[in-house]
Amino acid sequence: MNNEQWKRPKFLPDPLKGAGQKVKGLRVLFAIALAAAIIFVGIYWLRHRPQQIPTPFVTQGRLQIYALDVGQGDSALIITPEGKSVLIDAGPPQAADEVAAALRKRDVRSLDLAVATHPHADHIGGMRQVIENFGVKNFLDSGKDYPSMEYKRMQLAIEEKGIKFIPAKKGMKFDLDSGVGLEVLNPQGNDQWITEVRRGGSVENANSVVLRLGYGNFSMLFTGDAETETEDLMMKSGVPLRAQVLKVGHHGSRYATSVRFLEAVAPEAAVISCGADNRYGHPARQTLDRLLKAGVKVYRTDLNGDIAIVTDGNTFEIHPARQSIQVALAGFDRRFGHQRVFTMALAISRRPLLAR
Ligand SMILES: [Zn+2]
């Protein structure tokens, strides 16, 4: 048959018509799928990336403070320039292994001082494991009894190991080394407890051991779960409150960190220890607003992971394990959920781009 003479019958469709549009549509679809894949892989990597990152800062000859990411709870490790160490709280029971690992990671084999700010489980949960696996020389707590099995077991472990038990009292000072000092600001001592708290408040929180760490011109305040009653009492009693860094009281609860207290402490930076999406809504919007208004830079263990503070006694640096770009991405991921982002991208790519 002669091809030149052959004519396409009307009922057969033209195979070339609309091909350009189809190719263009496929390209858009491919670009969207690729973008979705990159976002998906990026989020997956952020979640599952290796956690062993080399220490990005100099620790030699400096005072180091680590706010450990223990979920909903508190735990802070202090290491002095000469290697003395203090642990303030040990997180909830489920973080016991993490606290022990954090100590080992920093070559801490024994603690010069362990502190239980107050006997709630999110602060002493990992303490028994610490006592049993590390040498503890001195143990400090408020000295107020608490009827829980966990607290009893912790006391028993302290006794069994023959650890020196010290009930905290305002004005007590611990000289660590290289001029690093730790001063007790609360409780008042001599059985003078705060007994009246707000409705729904806690006497244990109110009688938290509050400590001020000092090294040269640097100071940091550790407030346990103290709320406004304790803050007011400390301001009235005239204890030194000024500090460059504030470990925010009660995981950022709205009943702690009042405007007055922030004025007295005048911190440059604040650390909030709380679990992601915790059921208490910590940290409270109001507290974050107060910190923001006071011009305080805020770090959070739920977003930043472990937070390291290093100082030579003059200047200090804060090194969060997760940086702001990762925090922003994680926030994006939390708000939308990576599966939802993926299905959203798929849904958009399935829209009838081919037909105009
Ligand atoms: Zn707590």
- Domains of the chain, start order: 63-321 (3.60.15.10)
Say how many Å lie between the CA of residue 224 and the centre of ligand 1: 7
Please report the pLDDT score of residue 50 as a whole number: 58
CA-wise closest residue to 200 among 131, 280, 82:
280
CA of 57 to the centre of ligand 1 (A): 29
Question: What separation in Å is there between the alpha carbon of 215 and the centre of ligand 1?
Answer: 26
Residue 336, number of CB atoms within 10 A of its CB: 13
Q: Ligand 1 centre from 322 Cα, in Å? A: 23
The pLDDT mean for the chain works out to 89
**Residues 171, 133 contacting (CB under 8 angstroms):** no
User: How close is the Cα of 120 to the center of ligand 1, in Å?
Assistant: 7
* CA 250 to ligand 1 centroid distance, Å: 6
291, 297, 302, 308 alpha-carbon torsion, rounded to 10°: -140
Near ion ligand 1, which residues have CB within 5 Å?
122, 225
Please give the model's pTM, rounded to 2 decimal places.
0.80
**In the prediction, which pLDDT does 323 show?**
79
Q: Give residue-wise pLDDT tens across range 86-105.
A: 999 999 999 999 999 999 99
* Mean pLDDT value of segment 309-336: 80
